[in-house]
Structure 1
């Protein structure tokens, strides 16, 4: 019986990153006295987008990672995909939080996230095709 141990590890790590992104928003809201929205405070806008972008991608990608692990794909693949996703999300959040425009960490984050997403999609489709 598959236990999804590796996916669980990355879900925990990514949950901690999510908490950090959330706490950052709370701190900025207190500092700038903004209860709802961003009041056009650029630093808060960037923090909200870093948080929002994280939650837009990570749940689907964790689900895909779990499906891949559950299907019996080797643990090296699961660690590689989960590790790359984690690094990409940290880079993206750091890049977006520090700079509203283009930055190297943000670019690494975007390319890393899309690469993992596309690779996961290919693996899952390959698993399906292999079972026909």
Structure 2
């Protein structure tokens, strides 16, 4: 069994991203006086979803990536899936930083596209990782 080094790198990048989003959400809470929930603040809602969406996806991804790496899925496959996942999660976080990306406003269509890339890239990363893991175990 190998030590999952690529998974560790991916986990390192993702936990730093998670910490940054957490701090930005907390700072907005302090500034707006919203202690719990979103209040009537759409910016707070975006920041919570941006932070929460990464939390919902990153932990499971890193755990399964490490399993795939430890069970012998090729380094090239692991590295490719890890890089794609980290990049598309950045796209998603950037998209949810804007009203256009979160609510589909008419201006800023590039952010809508970034959110779509982030969401579908996450889905494809999950599916590819799961498929490679299962195929490797057969």
Match of 2:132 in 1: 123
Match of 1:54 in 2: 54
Paired residues, number: 129
CA distance in 1, matches of 2:18, 2:40: 23
Paired residue secondary structure (1:97): coil
CA distance in 1, matches of 2:126, 2:134: 12
**TM-score in terms of structure 1 length:** 0.93
Stretches of structure 1 that go unaligned for 5 or more consecutive residues are: none
Match of 1:38 in 2: 38
**8 Å Cα contact 2:38-2:44 kept in structure 1:** yes
**TM-score in terms of structure 2 length:** 0.89
Give, in angstroms, the shift of residue 127 of structure 1: 2.2
Stretches of structure 2 that go unaligned for 5 or more consecutive residues are: 105-111
Q: Which runs of 4+ in 1 moved over 4 A?
A: none
- Write out per-residue CA displacement over residues 71-130 of structure 1, whole angstroms, 9 at most, x where no aligned residue: 1122111111110010011111111121222411111100110010010111122123x2
CA distance in 1, matches of 2:40, 2:97: 15
Match of 2:9 in 1: 9
